[in-house]
Amino acid sequence: MFADITSGGCSDYSLVISPGRRTGDPIARESGVTLFADPDKVKLFEKVEINYQESLAGGGFYITGETIDVCACGNCFSLK
């Protein structure tokens, strides 16, 4: 899976996760899923904790972090 942080959304930044592997650096691995990111954005990912949760309804990624404020949508954030 490929993770990208883009400007905008309902906050300063938006996390976008796409299926498939593109060129990039591995930044996280959980439950057998590896996330890759553009090497130019790896520093920004150091401020974000990306978690994966599975349930009977399916699974998905969510973000947290002590140095970010996460928007109510769960995909957007701003730096503190």
Rounded mean pLDDT, 72-76: 85
- What CATH number is associated with residue 42? 2.60.300.12
Q: Is 65 helix (H, G, I), strand (E, B) or coil?
A: coil
Amino acid sitting at position 39:
P
- Report pTM: 0.73
In this prediction, residue 12 carries a pLDDT of 92
Question: How many domains in the chain?
Answer: 1
- What is the domain range of residue 11? 2-79
For the stretch 7-57, pLDDT in tens is 988 899 998 888 876 678 988 787 787 889 999 988 888 888 887 788 888
In this prediction, residue 70 carries a pLDDT of 92
